[in-house]
Amino acid sequence: MGFFKRIRAGLKKTGDVLNTDIRDLFKSEGRLIDEEFLEEVRGILFRTDMGYDSTEALVDEIGKKLRGRVVQLEEVVEVLKAKLKELMQQPEAPVEFAQSGPTVVMVCGVNGAGKTTSIAKLASQFKGEGRRVLLGAGDTFRAAAVEQLTVWADRLGVGIITAPPKTHPATVGYQTVERALAEGADVAIVDTAGRLQTQSDLMAELTKIRGALNKALPGAPHEVLLVLDATTGQNGISQATKFAEAAGCTGIVLAKLDGTAKGGVVVSIRQQLGLPVKYVGLGEGHDDLAPFKPDEFVDALFADVLKAPA
């Protein structure tokens, strides 16, 4: 199944909000674009968690292009889609691989965001591309996390570096990169313990892990991916801001997008953080992770809005 079909299925809950609510604004003879209409659209977009700035940009665009006219649903949707695609533009490549030696990917996020599963999905994808993958179980303070990642490594047939409980995660990161260099691995993915963005000591630890990776291989980590739970909506933005500062995040993995009606948070992340959304999680399986394609995301978001009602 291609990205469009998968993201369309994953965005079903968000699309249902848009489909029902935007359609309800129109009658067969069309609708006058006035302040009342713009305010109603504003409310609908907020309900998908697009955030204030993104919502205002979209509403302003409708007003600029269509104010004072009686229009049909299709015209409003086309304006929304064109502006959203403009807002969502980002570099195409989801991961910048190192020109030589292993590409080191550090992964961070809050507890319960879907970090371990996302790492497994990344490993599966990289292996499917023919790359040799090594995992580093850096969440040494939670035995269950190491066990879970080890199970995934065995299932996927990739290597893993573990350490005794409470070993400093920077040590695990260093050892993982060291082993990746020795064994000629193409990608080393280093897990970190889940933490709240308010825990300043644990956030500072992320900086130390980055330092250890760079010591083992100058230029590493090449990517620092922040896993966000899409179901948290706007709360994910505050998480991302703090993590971006502490860990130098280069992109977002948006997990559990299929389980929320707040899929508009993708737009808010792009606008408020400027970080690219590199991957989106669309299910529980190890292959349910897709490189993010902004234009197809927008098309899928509104696909059912333009379908004739049954």
Provide the mean pLDDT of the chain. 87
Q: Which residues pair with 226 in a beta bridge?
A: 108, 252
Percent of the residues in the chain that have a pLDDT greater than 70, as a whole number: 94
CATH code for the structural domain at 103-291: 3.40.50.300
Tens digits of per-residue pLDDT, 7-51?
788 778 787 878 778 888 887 778 999 999 999 999 998 888 888
Mean pLDDT of 55-62: 96
Q: In the structure, what pLDDT confidence band is assigned to residue 307 with cuts at 50, 70 and 90?
A: low
Its pTM stands at 0.86
Domain span(s) for CATH 1.20.120.140 in the chain? 3-91
In the block, residue with structure tokens 């993590």: 243
Residues 28-41 as b or e (16 or more Cβ within 10 Å = b) = eeebebeeebbeeb
Residues 159-170 as b or e (16 or more Cβ within 10 Å = b) = bbbbbeeeebbb
Percent of the residues in the chain that have a pLDDT greater than 90, as a whole number: 46
Domain span(s) for CATH 3.40.50.300 in the chain? 103-291
Q: What is the pLDDT of residue 64?
A: 97
Q: What is the pLDDT of residue 152?
A: 94
Which is more confidently placed, 99 or 111? 99
Tens digits of per-residue pLDDT, 231-269?
777 777 777 787 788 788 999 998 887 766 667 778 888
Q: In the structure, what pLDDT confidence band is assigned to residue 310 with cuts at 50, 70 and 90?
A: very low
Q: In the structure, what pLDDT confidence band is assigned to residue 141 with cuts at 50, 70 and 90?
A: confident
Q: What is the pLDDT of residue 32?
A: 94
Closest Cα partner for 219 from 197, 183, 250?
250
Q: Is the pLDDT of residue 129 over 60?
A: yes
Is the backbone of residue 80 left (phi > 0), alpha (psi -120 to 50) or beta?
A: alpha
Specify the fold of 3-91. Answer: Four Helix Bundle (Hemerythrin (Met), subunit A) (1.20.120)
